[in-house]
Amino acid sequence: MVKKPIFLHIRKKVRFFLVLNTFFIIPNITFAESKIYWNAQTDVFSIQSMSTIREVLDCIEANSDYIFVYSDEVNSRLSNKVSISTSDNNIDSVLDELFEKTDLEYKKNGRQIIISAPTPQQRTNNSSKNNIKVTGNVTDEKGEPLIGVTVVLKGDSTVNTITNLDGIYSINVPNRHSELSFSYVGFVPKTIDVDGHSVLNVVMVEDVGQLDEVVVVAYGAQKKESVVGSITTVAPEKLRTGTTRSLSNNLAGVVSGVIGVQRSGEPGYDNSSFWIRGISSFQTGTTDPLVLVDGIERDLNNIDPEEIESFSVLKDAAASAVYGVRGANGVILINTKRGQVGKPRVVVKTEFAMTQPVQLPEFLGAADYMQILDDILLDTGQQPKYTDRIEKTRSGYDTDLYPDVNWIDAISNDYASNERVTVDISGGSERLKYSFVAAVYNERGILKRDKTHEWDPSLKLQRYNVRSNVDLKLSPTTQMRFNLGGYLQDRNSTTKSISEIFSKAFLAVPHAFPPQYSSGEIPTTEEPNVWAWATQSGYQRTSASKIETLFSLEQDLKFVTPGLKVKGTFSFDRYSSGTVSRGMNPDYYNPATGRDDEGNLIISKKTNGDNFLGYSKSGDYGNKSIYP
């Protein structure tokens, strides 16, 4: 505990003493809106105050012999305003009323009063003991129950619930003075003081302005009031959180009703599988939602988040019916950035991030591993076989002959890293508007490399994104749009399967052989040397590119009938990829059996390798899509 901050002590305590019929009365000193009288003989207070808790305590200190002591944490909680009116009450009654709407506690030690805040555990225990259960129903102005209204305890969003099918809710609040906030799409949010009531019925009023907003639905638009619950619109800023390569990895936890599963962290193969409102009933076909970028079916994962202007998820038939069976798994609508009228606007952004595995198992050391094997032999009536090796392994006597290997540490770094640099240029006039977005993304995985080689088999990925959109008004009623976008991606990795490397590393024993002997030989047994798989097997590079184009012409036919328009769209997309593999098969040796008189390892060759990089090229793969 420390006395409150020094600036609260730089003051003069002015006291005037009057003798009147043997009573000593100290007249009040006014602090802000606080008036306090203290009867020194009976030790009672009369207080009129509408100020902060801190100011009331200061005023009590200035007008009495009481001193308050509290920590910095408590000091940060004393800025709440209170209204207190009391007459001829002792200090306990005054403080009880002052702290009534807080969780602060106090302890008296003579004229010194120590104010404290409960620990998180105490707060949890107190909350569970003092909770008040509040129930009620939420309806609209017509008395119809509202389903799914969010009810939140003001000041603590972790205490929340929603109304059921009958519009009924039930929630536990910490005290009779708690406040509940009610919110629902299309209705004005409402906050209500519990005020000791156990039943609280709420009538919510429609927010007409919000329901008149228009959202994009398929090939047209609808008002929000028509599709409440059917559409989730995600702010592009939420999709730009973090620096992941794949946009699908940013959806989980951002969009309600979307389930996302990321099965790999390998650069280039880290896309998430995701489902909208659960898994589709069409189990024999794809369960992926339909993704439309500027109205054209395209891949979600290689779009840079900076390219996105709006992102909507159509979750049920009310919004996605126009797509028929293709919309059965939900629809994602993405509109890329377009220019706005105004001076050229240039935004440059750079981001850097480091990532690491969330959790890895702790592996037994070689000595402990062999000790367990010996214990098993003893339990089965056999002689232990590792006694001598255990002691030499513990002492680090000869790490070539008595290794202690954590194979996960041998093949991987602690951290992976990535960075992204983006340039966003936009502007235009009433006649011509333009938008240009370019991005460079680099990612390095956690797989280690052998720096004695000039070639690099580690996991790396580099991607370049470009998107340019132009809107040209050919006449007052004719508008042309041209979109050009795409990406170029290069990926580097070892020639071995990453999943198999890590699977074998998890199963490898720590005492059989080291990753590489100090003299340079690579040992192995029937089980592979996963370090050699990761660092000595060569490398492969995969390049992929895609070009996306869209041309549209829209004619307003309002001279025929108001609201009538005709629009034609043509799109051409082309994708291609190819892989170059430079594999190598090194010499492998049997584990060393000892050292000769000169101290050299006694080893024998197990298999002959190539010891040079080979060359192979997979056939270029490509496709093209035309959408008239």
Cα distances (angstroms) measured from residue 594 to each of 208, 281, 400: 85, 63, 9
Residue 203: exposure state from Cβ atoms within 10 A (0-12, 13-18, ≥19): middle
441 vs 95, residue with greater confidence: 441
Higher pLDDT, residue 3 or 277: 277
Higher-confidence residue of 291 and 27: namely 291
Nearest partner of 541 among 612, 615, 466, 624, judged by Cα = 615
CATH of domain 6-117: 3.55.50.30
Instruction: Give 253-294 pLDDT, tens digit per residue.
Output: 677 667 777 778 888 888 877 777 665 444 555 678 888 999
Q: Is the pLDDT of residue 221 over 80?
A: no
227 — phi, psi (to 5°)? -135, 25
- Under a CB-based contact definition with an 8 Å cutoff, are residues 439 and 421 in contact? yes
Superfamily of domain 129-209: Carboxypeptidase-like, regulatory domain (2.60.40.1120)
User: Is-contact 301 271, C-beta < 8 A?
Assistant: yes
Average pLDDT, the chain: 83
Residue 233 pLDDT greater than 90, yes or no? no
How sure is the predictor about 9, in pLDDT bands with cuts at 50, 70 and 90?
Answer: very low
Annotate 489-516 with b (16+ C-beta within 10 A) or e (fewer): bebbbbbbebeebbebbeebbbbbbbbb
More confident residue, 291 or 36: 291
Those residues with Cβ within 8 angstroms of residue 124's Cβ, 6 or more apart along the chain or in another chain? none
**How much is the pLDDT for 519?**
92
What is the model's pLDDT at position 31?
A: 40
Answer yes or no: is pLDDT of 5 > 60. Answer: no
Q: What is the pLDDT, as a whole number, of residue 285?
A: 58
396 vs 250, higher pLDDT: 396
Residue 60 confidence (pLDDT):
87
- In order, the DSSP letters of 473-542 are EEETTEEEEEEEEEEEEEEEEESS-HHHHHHHHHH--SSS--SS-TTS--B--SS--HHHHHHSSEEEEE
Residue percentage of the chain with pLDDT more than 70:
84
Reply yes or no on whether the pLDDT at 17 is more than 70: no
Characterise 55 by phi-psi region: left (phi > 0), alpha (psi -120 to 50), beta (else).
alpha
Nearest CA among 494, 351, 492, 360 for reference residue 414: 360
Q: Which of 256, 374, 361 is nearest to 312 (CA)?
A: 256
Q: Is the pLDDT of residue 621 over 70?
A: no
pLDDT average, residue stretch 184-194: 87
Give residue 356's pLDDT band: very low, low, confident or very high (50, 70, 90). Answer: confident
**8 Å CB contact between 504 and 562:** no
**Among 147, 151, 149, 136, which Cα is nearest to 200's?**
136
pLDDT score at 286: 67
pLDDT at position 18: 31
Residue spans of the domains in the chain: they are 6-117, 129-209, 213-336, 367-396, 406-627
**How many CA atoms lie less than 13 Å away from 4 in the CB half-sphere?**
22
What tokens appear for 397 in the block? 């006597």
Alpha-carbon 368 to chain mean position: 39
Which pLDDT value is given to residue 624?
64
Mean pLDDT confidence for 578-582: 92
Token couple for 213: 């907003």
% of the chain beyond a pLDDT of 90: 42
Q: What angle do CA 20, 23, 26 make, to 5 degrees?
A: 90
What SS3 state is found at 17? Answer: coil
Q: What amino acid occupies position 115?
A: I
Say what the pLDDT of residue 21 is. 34
Query: What amino acid is encoded at 23 in this protein?
Result: F
Confidence of residue 14 (pLDDT cuts 50, 70, 90): very low
147 has pLDDT over 80: yes
- Each residue's pLDDT tens digit, 402-440: 999 999 999 999 999 999 999 999 999 999 999 999 999
The dotted CATH code for 213-336 is: 2.170.130.10
Helix (H, G, I), strand (E, B) or coil at 385: coil
Crossing angle (nearest 10°) for helices 387-395 and 366-379: 160
Q: Please tell me which residue, 143 or 40, carries the higher pLDDT value.
A: 143
